[in-house]
Structure 1
């Protein structure tokens, strides 16, 4: 559409009127290939561009970096470090932000009563409000996964199919740097649609889109004005509202968050695992498998080996 518009603005007439006349003509009929048809997008896929109140994103970023990774929640560093070392990742990172790259194999995630930990109340309320607004009342947040991306990270091609109840939507929240998100079809052979995700953007995958292949091949610098987590100066949080869970972020905490987010992206996915009245099977199901049986993580695009590029928070944290 942009290319066509650029080619039609020459000649002194305003571009809007030229494009208006282009689509109005009867003979020959106009080419409609550049017209966006939202009815042809993946049914059940909802993209919400930054619905957060101004000044509230810093709170959610602080929760993702400081609160949600705390024990007893699980992170993939638990496979490589002692419990003492992973007890307080935030506390170990506040004084220096490391820049090295590490490669970690992600553990096989499972849904079972034995790995259950309390789900954060604030994140559940956010998810419940968001799903209700999209037409899905009664959503129960039972599993949350945090992925931390640096500029050279990616997320491999996969389908989120391990929840026992796949009729409930999956929510995805993005904070920090931008990313290219690929949404494909029910088969690996289906060509994907590429879209940009910026800080504060929310995606809801429901209905037929719930089991579509998707991936994040690239992290991009946030465009000017879209990174709502600005550095420097005082954090302006809105006055507390009745029933709100958002709290002010201290200057000390924001100093750490803002340094991290200048080159990193945080993504939170929230899922309902069980249908009302449903129980876990005796044998736990693996989480985040693809058609090749690989676990969620970063795909090198060649051998299928999973790896993670990391900075000061090189882990995926999971809370059930």
Structure 2
């Protein structure tokens, strides 16, 4: 039998065959072979349970403050053929994904973070990406004359956080251009990674992707990080995606997986070097434009209690033999994590210079900072968790009001949001001198 060929007459490899299969619109593909982690018994030949680190009590407290279920209730699996691929079935308490949707739509797209919009259109500093969607814009705010009622959010495809990524060269810009990584993302991913057994993980860069119903992501390998031994953590919110997890070459037939709202995927070990893609975003179920997991339930009210504490709670980097989290205001002193990302822009508290001083705003590296200072601010941090959780509680109080939540829910009707977080370098490691410069 002749090998399958694409429209250009080129022979298709096994990865591309599956990608084209699930991307096809007419006739639609058979979805029965796609792994659904909500039904593990149907795929016992392909998946197996993944055992968690049950000693991370402090990490679990932090995760619970972010609206995640107790770790003992998580359903965690891995692919037998790709054991470095770890999958957590939506660990969020119902309703608490709203926070991360709000952050992804309203906060993360703001300066100084980088957006795809900056590459091809003028966006004034005074323009708010989120507000542009729900309010009429004043043309006097623009440096050019855009169409009336420009909706920047509808054109948003990606935002980069922390160390910014040069899409043209497929590498990081390096210390020449970076902004603060949001501290809530840093704390969430550090504690989650620790529970999974990756106790040394610390986030340094993130990419937020915004998929509409026709969006796809071609087969690729994420290999720009200098430390490929660290896991990549990926979070999904909104509509369901079909995800393909392949092997180290495109000659390996990939496994197809459903990525639903709230699901967390981790690529670790050898899987970091494997091809993967997103060939399709699936439409919502009839009559359910937004997944049910965004609704608050009695379970959410019962399992998540918000304590308003006073005093300073900090997470500091410790020597390797003392990876602990200290919370002086609550006298918690159990083993945990080595969290070091900065605070975000927007309303969340931010960490400043190498002496761990607090600042009023975050910015790109300035001419007054030495290379050593700018490197230190990205690799060694202490930040105020009390402020992070205070802002989280305020945001959730706002989002529990259905009128306040509605604009965000409307956006999700035909959208999937994904943010993935990476550790770029090993502790103490620096970017090489020759690295991509802004504008090249």
Q: Give me the TM-score of the superposition, normalised by structure 1.
A: 0.70
Structure 1: gaps (5+ residues): 4-32, 287-320
Name the counterpart of 2:293.
Answer: 228
Residue 58 (1) aligns with residue 110 (2): no
Residue in structure 1 matched with residue 172 of structure 2 by the alignment: 110
Residue of structure 2 in register with 1:70 after alignment: 110
Tell me if 1:205 matches 2:267.
Answer: yes
Deviation string, structure 1 residues 80-129 (Cα, Å, up to 9, x no partner): 12240784211111238969986989943624011210010111111011
CA RMSD in angstroms, aligned pairs only? 3.2
- 8 Å CA contact retained: 1:183, 1:212: yes
Deviations 1:151-196 (A, max 9, x none): 1111111100000110000000000000000000000121100010
* C-alpha distance in structure 2 between counterparts of 1:150 and 1:51, whole Å: 24
2:305 is the counterpart of 1:239 = yes
Please name the residue that 1:297 is paired with.
none
* Pairing 1:84–2:120 present: no
**Structure 2: how far apart are the matches of 1:85 and 1:75?**
13
Partner residue of 1:194 out of 256, 272, 291: 256
Moved more, 220-229 or 55-64: 220-229
Q: 1:43 aligns with which of 59, 62, 83?
A: 83
Q: CA deviation at 1:283?
A: 1.8
User: Partners in 2 of 1:227 and 1:52 — Cα distance?
Assistant: 12
User: CA 1:226/1:182 → structure 2, altered by over 3 Å: closer, same or farther?
Assistant: same
Go from structure 1 to structure 2 and tell me whether the alpha carbon gap of 1:44 and 1:83 turns closer, same or farther (over 3 Å shift).
same
2:277 to 185, 190, 215: 215
- Alpha-carbon distance in 1 for matches of 2:104, 2:201: 21
CA distance in 2, matches of 1:46, 1:90: 33
Give the number of the structure whose residues are more often helix, by fraction.
2
- TM-score for the superposition, normalised by structure 2: 0.52
| 1:149 equivalenced with 2:211 (yes/no) | yes
Q: Structure 2 vs 1, CA of residues 139 and 253 (structure 1 numbering), >3 Å: closer, same or farther?
A: farther
| Structure 1 position 79, deviation (Å) | 0.9
Q: Does 1:276 align with 2:427?
A: yes
199 and 138 in structure 1: CA distance in 2 versus 1, 3 angstrom threshold? same
C-alpha offsets along residues 255-306 of structure 1, whole Å, 9 cap, x if unaligned?
A: 21110001100000000001011000112269xxxxxxxxxxxxxxxxxxxx
Q: Post-superposition shift, 1:40?
A: 2.7
Q: 1:177: which partner in 2? A: 239
Counterpart for residue 223 of structure 2: 161
Q: How many residues align?
A: 252
Quote how far apart the aligned CAs of 1:221 are.
2.7
The residue number in structure 2 matching 1:258 is 409
What is aligned with 2:190?
Answer: 128
SS at match of 1:280: coil
Contiguous gaps of at least 5 residues in structure 2: 1-31, 33-42, 49-78, 136-148, 159-165, 309-385
